[in-house]
A and B are shown apart, each in its own frame.
Chain A
Amino acid sequence: MWCRMAKNLLHELGVGYDYVDVDTLPADEKEEVKKVIKRWNPGGSYPTIVINEKECVSGFDETEIREKIK
């Protein structure tokens, strides 16, 4: 649900993004993606939003997302 809200917010802000629904991946891919997520967000929480391969927002925080996407 928080992931859905994050997608909605990105849509509303009109920014382009790719996403992966980690829970729908096959087991081997899931492990790979989890490793990538932990590099950005050691807590491994969802959603993990990586902005321009530079910054990361861990979990849905509207203020922080708006701030970092400016």
Chain B
Amino acid sequence: MSDSPARPEVTRVETERIFKKLDREAESAGYHLNPNREFTLGLIEGMLVNELRYGYWACPCRLASGNKAEDLDIICPCDYRDPDLAQHGTCYCALYVSQDIVDGRRKPARIPERRQAERRSGPSAAPADAASPANSASPNDAAAGAASAAPSAASAAPNLSGLSYPLWRCRVCGYLCARDGPPEVCPICRAKKDRFERFL
């Protein structure tokens, strides 16, 4: 192991700076960082090390491939954060926690990895094709697919094929917006543009 790449150095000042930024953004959007400050700083440091290694914030508790397209779903905040928060009260690494945990009514604990399970069960995990909705051959087919499925719906249902704008969904938090393309950054969870998929 003598030729192992050295672990890049991240300063405490930089880690603290990102901590403050993430804390502010989380609280303004209804999320919470883990109240164990030293633990949280350790996770953030791991993320910053990954940024120096790979160029992006790969989850500090998962083994990244170094290939961004392959790792897109585990760039923090990961695609699994919100369902894990809802089910377990923490995300996989416990950087983000639920109100229960902030209030001390529940303790963070090891949770199962949702990533492998989802990747095995669904085709929606192909991140390179993030603009395409799951089970749809191409983005252009989405409107037609929705229209052909519509006859079973009540007549009061909106005519989805006649949308004046496409609908984009943030894969991290579920935020939806109707516009020509996804925003640069999700206004709710701060995930970047490449985490959006075309929803309709």
Contact = CB atoms under 8 A, between A and B. Distances in A.
B4 interface: yes
B42 A4 contact: yes
A46 B5 contact: no
A59 B92 CA distance: 11
B21 interface: no
A24 B4 contact: yes
Nearest to B5: A24
Kindly state the interface size class of chain A when it binds its partner: 20 to 34
B89 interface: no
Given A1-B39, A1-B60, A1-B93, A61 B110 contact: yes
A2 B61 contact: yes
Nearest to B111: A59
A26 B4 CA distance: 6
Kindly state the interface size class of chain B when it binds its partner: 20 to 34
B42 A46 contact: no
B109 A1 contact: no
Contacts, number: 41
B61 A1 contact: yes
Given A1-B46, A61-B109, A61-B110, A26 B3 contact: yes
Label chain A's interface by main secondary structure: loop
Contacts of B42: 1, 4
Interface in A20-40: 20-26, 29-30, 34
Contacts of B7: 21, 24
Interface in A41-56: 43-46
B63 A59 contact: no
Contacts of B4: 24-26
B93 A45 contact: no
Contacts of A61: 109-110
B14 interface: no
Contacts of B46: 1
A2 B3 CA distance: 25
Interface in B95-150: 109-110, 112-113, 116
B109 A46 contact: no
B96 to A, nearest CB: 13
Given A4-B42, A26-B3, A26-B4, 13 more contacts: A1-B60, A2-B61, A2-B110, A20-B1, A24-B5, A24-B7, A26-B5, A43-B116, A44-B116, A46-B62, A59-B110, A60-B110, A61-B110
